[in-house]
Chain A
């Protein structure tokens, strides 16, 4: 009931047309980057685990629409969309997947450890909840220094089952830190459904209240809905109103890790997927904006073409980049004194 009230209040606010166009472009870009990774992954040149975020495009785009460059973002393993939506460098990301010296982490991190400090993308890690507390620490440092900075931390439904999640929310609640916790609930942790992991009738966003946070949830496949909910959350965090926990209901289209579909495994059905695919965040949003005359079909086509060229360029850059030299192996185990690289 409370959620419904909050959603209906939030529904009164809409994004400006240029914001909608940009959100569509960003979602399309994430989708097309992921599709190109899916297409090329079988070439066996991206030799690291990848977690494709097709189906998850709306939350990063709707949240990042409210973030400034100096705001910070942390993510987990399914991080490509979060990285790109925050303005992370596409070429450096693709080169990282290819293990090249030009990668954003010099090839030492791979898909699971993306970073782009210039864009405020601080890091990502696959141990589900482990970056959450680090993000809270960055927010705490910003608060202590009186900096006007918000930290958005993305994670999945599984992370909310780890103690680190609760410890981080508790501390953020105690200190009313400028954090937006963003849970993308896609119903599965690898192959294990939510129903065997979390109590029936209790939703993840409700855990916010247990830690003194505002908790909100909405359709995570609807960029407008995400945009509206995130707008309040980011504004509240920025204004000293304390941290917010957002839960976005969404669905991963591909297997947990890798480029393929996995309906043959039997842990989820093709019918379930078809129902979610009918709610495709990109296609439905494009159709809505066209119907509302915000974007024409021709403009959408031009977007697609422009993004395609950018992606081609990024993959060409990555594939032609050198691998790290052997002396890179032992570099950066320990920092050199005095800040030298």
Chain B
């Protein structure tokens, strides 16, 4: 059973199907959710299975409809709200930040807002300035919201189920480049915890902690490093609220070196938070200044000629690790299998 392999995309779809099946108060809503392409496949077929009353399209009113979903949540329903790209969720910031996040607190605990919001981070094939942002730190800054970034298919299913079960508003950030990644996913309606990091690989020389797709890139970096005799520990950070500093600190106490990688800008982002926490709690354990890997403070360029310079990759993490380990080696980028590094794998031929 645990040997069954699903893609991340299939895991997300299965999580929603399980939730819809188990609780009539759950419904799924978003622009295009019951549509022909089904949110990159993650909602495909669900309207046929559960009906148009529970798998719903909506007006292109991201802010207003988030409020509507919140209204149903405080009435006892459990909406799953989908933004095909994070960038559209910016239109719902008022409702998420001022209303949903605070609804439980500011009314003295008298109501709960069990709202799950899926936001998908785009990348590559010219997604550009407004289709590829990774804004998880914005949401994680607001008390009352929970923000998770599953990287493994098993978490994509289990954390989404946990989000639906949770009585707080939960933002589930999914990276589009994880969608075709396969992994073991249990059947049924089991959940995975919304908090806590997971050590994916143990090692003694350097800690590579990554969020979402950058956890995967950290694993790839560890494989590159192994070939040159560096033993990296890899941590899938999984959640921003809270960041599991215990797991990171325990690892840094062992390795003395930390690289944190995020899909977002480094400035004011989750990598800064991780680094601060380690500095506060384990400065003495750090043998080298910690390194942050993420996006520069530049909007995403559309042309692959510039986007290829913009996104850090596994090889960048690996080379940063070599420098931290005082190695003067340089790992060469893997040979290109596509003309540009703007697709998750060679099978992808665009567009999104």
Q: Mark A154-197, 1 if CB is under 8 A from B, else 0.
A: 00000000011011101100100000000000000000000000
- Cβ–Cβ < 8 Å partners of B146 in chain A: 334
Q: How far is the CB of A151 from chain B (nearest CB, A)?
A: 9
Among A113, A142, A144, A164, point to the contact of B63 (Cβ < 8 A). Answer: A164
Task: Decide if B69 touches A137 in the complex (CB within 8 Å).
Answer: yes
Give 16 A-B contacts (CB < 8 Å), ordered by A residue.
A104-B108, A105-B107, A108-B107, A109-B106, A113-B106, A123-B103, A123-B107, A125-B98, A134-B95, A137-B67, A140-B71, A141-B72, A167-B65, A171-B68, A332-B105, A334-B168
Q: How large is the interface on A (under 10, 10 to 19, 20 to 34, 35 or more residues)?
A: 35 or more
Task: Decide if B111 touches A117 in the complex (CB within 8 Å).
Answer: yes
Q: Which 7 A-B pairs have the closest CB atoms?
A: A137-B71, A167-B64, A133-B67, A106-B108, A167-B61, A141-B75, A137-B68
The answer to whether residues A136 and B68 also contact, given A122-B74, A167-B63 and a CB cut-off of 8 A, is yes
Task: Decide if B68 touches A140 in the complex (CB within 8 Å).
Answer: yes
The answer to whether residues A133 and B66 also contact, given A108-B105, A174-B59 and a CB cut-off of 8 A, is yes
* B144 close to A (CB within 8 Å): yes
- With A115-B110, A137-B68, A339-B167 known, 5 other A-B pairs at CB within 8 A are A113-B107, A133-B95, A137-B70, A138-B72, A138-B75
Task: Decide if B94 touches A341 in the complex (CB within 8 Å).
Answer: no
Task: Decide if B77 touches A134 in the complex (CB within 8 Å).
Answer: no
Task: Decide if A141 touches B71 in the complex (CB within 8 Å).
Answer: yes
Task: Decide if A332 touches B168 in the complex (CB within 8 Å).
Answer: no
Task: Decide if B72 touches A137 in the complex (CB within 8 Å).
Answer: yes
Among A117, A134, A166, point to the contact of B70 (Cβ < 8 A). Answer: A134
- Cβ–Cβ < 8 Å partners of A134 in chain B: 67-68, 70-71, 74, 95, 99
Q: How many A-B residue pairs have CB under 8 A?
A: 138
* A130 close to B (CB within 8 Å): yes
Q: Mark B65-93, 1 if CB is under 8 A from A, else 0.
A: 11111111111110000000000000000
* B112 close to A (CB within 8 Å): yes
Residues 57-78 (chain A) with a chain B CB within 8 angstroms: none
Residue in chain B with minimal CB distance to A126: B98
- By a beta-carbon cutoff of 8 Å, the part of chain B in contact with chain A is 53, 58-59, 61, 63-77, 94-95, 98-99, 103-112, 143-144, 146, 167-168
The answer to whether residues A109 and B64 also contact, given A125-B98, A133-B95, A135-B71 and a CB cut-off of 8 A, is no
The answer to whether residues A170 and B64 also contact, given A138-B71, A140-B71, A141-B75 and a CB cut-off of 8 A, is yes
Residues 270-296 (chain A) with a chain B CB within 8 angstroms: none
- By a beta-carbon cutoff of 8 Å, the part of chain A in contact with chain B is 103-109, 113, 115, 117, 122-123, 125, 127, 130-142, 144, 163-164, 166-168, 170-171, 174, 331-335, 337, 339, 341
The answer to whether residues A117 and B105 also contact, given A134-B67, A171-B59 and a CB cut-off of 8 A, is no
Q: How far is the CA of A137 from the CA of B146 in the complex (A)?
A: 22
Q: How far is the CA of A141 from the CA of B73 in the complex (A)?
A: 9
Q: How far is the CB of A204 from chain B (nearest CB, A)?
A: 17
Among B65, B67, B109, B143, point to the contact of A106 (Cβ < 8 A). Answer: B109
Residue in chain B with minimal CB distance to A170: B59
Task: Decide if A130 touches B98 in the complex (CB within 8 Å).
Answer: yes
- Cβ–Cβ < 8 Å partners of B76 in chain A: 141
Q: How far is the CA of A123 from the CA of B143 in the complex (A)?
A: 20
Task: Decide if A130 touches B71 in the complex (CB within 8 Å).
Answer: no
Q: How far is the CA of A117 from the CA of B167 in the complex (A)?
A: 18
Q: How far is the CB of A192 from chain B (nearest CB, A)?
A: 20
- Cβ–Cβ < 8 Å partners of B65 in chain A: 133, 167, 171
Task: Decide if B106 touches A105 in the complex (CB within 8 Å).
Answer: yes
- Cβ–Cβ < 8 Å partners of B94 in chain A: 127, 130, 164
Among A131, A137, A334, A341, point to the contact of B75 (Cβ < 8 A). Answer: A137
